[in-house]
């Protein structure tokens, strides 16, 4: 992954978390954590965060992870990277469309997003296959 995609992935994960911290009524556990670290003032922008920012950041993370698949071809790395944003988007959709309490789904999705971001930070992925094909190991003998 290039530096831009790595930074964008981390920024979208952080944006999703901060957006979820702004919705006290929807996601009380993470919102109380946000208030404890001084983000209580964002609760007045709850509608903006839930309707626009949270799905936008999760969508960006989903796009970046699928673009990452094209460059590194690691399905074991891409699958959790895609599952997190999909769960966050599903939680927002279920909450907004049907009024269901979907906090547990959001928390699992955010945990996936944070976990994959930390994993990528600690152990960056290396490309196995490029657009021209896969490199074969040198022949012996």
- pLDDT beyond 70 at 132: no
Angle between helices 75-98 and 103-122 (to 10 degrees): 150
Nearest to 14 by CA among 65, 68, 53, 69: 53
End-to-end CA distance of the chain: 34
Is residue 139 situated within a structural domain?
Answer: no
Is residue 140 situated within a structural domain?
Answer: no
Task: List the domain range (segments joined by +) for residue 32.
Answer: 3-124
Q: What are the tens digits of pLDDT across the range 47-90? A: 787 788 888 888 888 888 887 777 666 777 788 888 999 998 99
Cβ–Cβ < 8 Å for 89, 102: no
Is residue 87 situated within a structural domain?
Answer: yes
Q: What was the pLDDT predicted at 140?
A: 62
How many domains is the chain partitioned into structurally? 1
Is residue 119 situated within a structural domain?
Answer: yes
Distance of CA 77 to the CA centre of its chain: 13
Is residue 64 situated within a structural domain?
Answer: yes
């Amino acid at each position: 992954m290039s530096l831009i995609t790595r930074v964008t992935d981390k920024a979208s994960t952080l944006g999703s978390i901060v957006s979820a911290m702004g919705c006290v009524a929807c996601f009380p556990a993470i919102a109380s954590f946000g208030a404890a670290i001084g983000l209580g003032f964002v609760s007045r922008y709850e509608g903006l965060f839930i309707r626009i920012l949270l799905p936008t950041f999760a969508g960006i993370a989903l796009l970046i992870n699928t673009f990452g698949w094209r460059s590194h071809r690691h399905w074991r790395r891409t699958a959790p990277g895609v599952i997190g944003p999909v769960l966050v988007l599903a939680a927002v959709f279920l909450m907004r469309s049907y009024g269901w309490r979907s906090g547990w789904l959001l928390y699992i999705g955010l945990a996936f997003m944070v976990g994959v971001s930390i994993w990528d930070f600690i152990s960056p992925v290396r490309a196995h296959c490029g657009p021209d094909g896969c490199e074969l190991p040198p022949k012996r003998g």
